[in-house]
Every structure is written in C-alpha cells, then in structure tokens.
Structure 1
C-alpha cells in the first residue's frame, strides 16, 4: 500500500493505510482474530500515548438487527428448503452471521486513535487515514453525509475527504495546511478538511483539540 508523503520535517506518512486489505486470506484472518477477541470480551488496552475514540455504534446496531432477522427467518425457511440443499442453506446462513459479527468486531477493535503524534481515523474492515497532529488546526462538530464508505472524496468539495464506515459523518478536522491524501481509486486529493464520525462527537472534538494545543 502506498502513501502520500507530507513534508520531511514531520517524519510522517499520511494517506490510506490498511494492512488488512493485502489479501482476502489476511483480511479473513484479521476478522476472525478480532471476532474471537471481541467474543471473548478481551479488553482493548491503549498503549502509552494512545487515546481511543469509539465509532460506528449506529452501524453495528443495524448489522445486529439484520443478522437477528436473518436468523429468525432462516429457521422456517430451512424447513422448506429441499433436503439436498439444506446443508448449503445452513452454511450460507452461518457465513452471513460470521461476516456480520466480524464486521461488528472489527469496528469495535479498531477505534479512531490518537497515537502519539498521529491521529489515526479508522474504519474497521475498510481503509484508514493517518494525519500528523502537526498538520491539524482544529476539530469541530458538523453532521453531514458523503456517499460511500471508507476513505473517499466529498462531493462538491475538492479540498475534502471523508473517512467513515457509513456515509454519515459527525466531525470535521480542519487542517493547518493542505495535505495530499492518496485514495485507493481516484488519485490524490489535496485535503484541507477531513470528515469523519465518532460515537460521541463532542468528546472526540475535545480530545483532538486538546492534543493539538
């Protein structure tokens, strides 16, 4: 995965990073690991200099609801599925359930994070954006929407990117200087603002602003 470079005096790279996407096998292994740790209620402990910012609680509620509906409706459907196809139907239901729970686990166990001199805006199974705190002017609450998920452009704003699990965003990061951000598709955006989402936007804004002052 390549990075878009910031000036050398920051000793940082900024751009889309996501080692999970290196291969389907690696992504699946990471998902199953997160699912096992989450199911086992293993706490996610920050290291020295790290502060977590939870996100995507609303998305997880929707995924939980869909998974529960699939389970409830899958039982009666299984009784009318031909015997020869019943095992395939059960396997399909299990795979969907694992993927749904895996999505929840990955978003829980990859919160946004202030990691020393870096703000990492993360999206679980999707992409990640690392921004040096030296490039941040401030954060503010601002509810909005940018179609798509993960790291992407913001429509009608050529100087902004969005990085969130769903289209909804609730925090805007104002950058002190334009920062080049490389997208997986669509080239490089010279970003002056980053739209992202947090479960508690007010707390996220306070935490980021305290880190840059």
Structure 2
C-alpha cells in the first residue's frame, strides 16, 4: 500500500454525538454512581485504562474557588435574587462535578478487538486493535478538547479531555477520521491521554498483538 493511501479493510469508528437529553442523563447517572462509590463494572474480558486525573484536579480547584466566591457574592446579592443565585451556584456545581464523574466512569476500554478512546463529556473514538502498529510515549499538548485535528500534523488526530496528551498510537495504515468541517483526516497517528502511560502502553501493546490475524 502506497504512503498516504487509506486502508479499506479497517476504519476508525466515530461514536455519534449525544443529544442534550442523552448527555444530561449520562452525566447524572455517572455523578450518582461516583458519589455513591459504586464499583465500575465492565463486561468480562474488557479492561479499563483510566484517564484525565489531571483535569479532575483542576476542576476541583476551580470549583472550590467558585464556591467560596459564591458565598461572598451571595452576601451582596439583594434578597429578592438570592434564590436565583443559589440555583445558579448549584447548577454550576452539578455540571462541574458531573463532568468529572463522566471521566471517572468512562475510562478508555479494551475489549479484545477494539480500543475505545473516551473523553468523558465529549466524544469517543473506536480504534480496531489489529490496526495498531505501536504505542509510544508522547507527552505534549494539542490545541482543543475532545476529538480534534492536530494542527501541525495532517495525518494525526488527538482524542483527550484537555489539550494534554501522554501517548500516541501509530497505525499500520492511515484510517479516515471524519469531521463535520474540513472533511476526513487520513490518520496515521492518534494522540490520547492516560493516567499511567507506561502501564497503558503495555496493556494496549499486548492487546494489539493478540488481535493480529
């Protein structure tokens, strides 16, 4: 296969965007599960790869500052508007913690045939394991959030909650990743993040080897 030619035998699956109702349902479900400390149960044979611990720490810090600011502001809000202000503070708190919960309750998942790269409240990319040639450490940052193009690499995409990434998948052949704007990217590399990059790389490498025909 010539350089740059897209392999027809495999593809990267882009999970459709959730509706607003679906997103809120998933967020509240994950938030309740996280607060209740319910164990995350995956189907037999599936393995989880945690991600976005750094994002959760940042969100926690901002949330604490917002709560303190909310108390100060509440003392200055006219009594007639305090209920509205309280509703706003609670809504921001629920959305912040809910987004954190979605990253905890939706780790990357290896199921023996595919690697699901998840981004919590954002989109999900499904990579066939037999198409993975290698997994390498790649600490860096790529502008944007969720699934996105890599601005300085026409044959790469990034899939992470924040701009930071820690690993890159090298693919056997370029696989198309469709975007609503600008068409598809023939991806040879997929950048993503994991909380324990070395352990994640070993796990994915082993699964990819086992998935080869």
TM-score (norm 2): 0.91
Q: Retained in 2: the 8 A contact 1:16–1:183?
A: no
Counterpart for residue 17 of structure 1? 15
C-alpha deviations, 1:127-162, integer Å up to 9, x for none? 111010111101011111110001000011100000
Question: Once superposed, which parts of structure 1, at least 4 consecutive aligned residues long, lie more than 4 Å away?
Answer: none
Gaps of 5+ in 2: 1-5
How many residues end up aligned between the 2 structures? Answer: 204
Matching of residues 12-91 of structure 1 within 5 Å = 14-18=12-16, 21-91=17-87
Q: Retained in 2: the 8 A contact 1:16–1:184?
A: no
CA–CA distance in 2 between the matches of 1:195 and 1:84? 50
Counterpart for residue 200 of structure 1? 196
Deviates more, 1:39-48 or 1:190-199: 39-48
CA–CA distance in 2 between the matches of 1:150 and 1:53? 17
C-alpha deviations, 1:86-116, integer Å up to 9, x for none? 1111111000000000001000011011022
Q: Retained in 1: the 8 A contact 2:27–2:101?
A: yes
Counterpart for residue 151 of structure 1? 147
* Aligned Cα root-mean-square deviation (Å): 1.5
Asked if 1:130 corresponds to 2:129, the answer is: no
99, 114, 120: which one aligns with 2:116: 120
Counterpart for residue 101 of structure 1? 97
- SS of the aligned residue for 2:75 comes to helix
Asked if 1:191 corresponds to 2:190, the answer is: no
CA–CA distance in 2 between the matches of 1:26 and 1:128? 15
CA–CA distance in 2 between the matches of 1:57 and 1:64? 11
CA–CA distance in 2 between the matches of 1:92 and 1:38? 22
TM-score (norm 1): 0.91
Which one has the bigger strand percentage? 1
Q: Retained in 2: the 8 A contact 1:174–1:193?
A: yes
- SS of the aligned residue for 1:52 comes to strand
Gaps of 5+ in 1: none
CA–CA distance in 2 between the matches of 1:108 and 1:17? 19
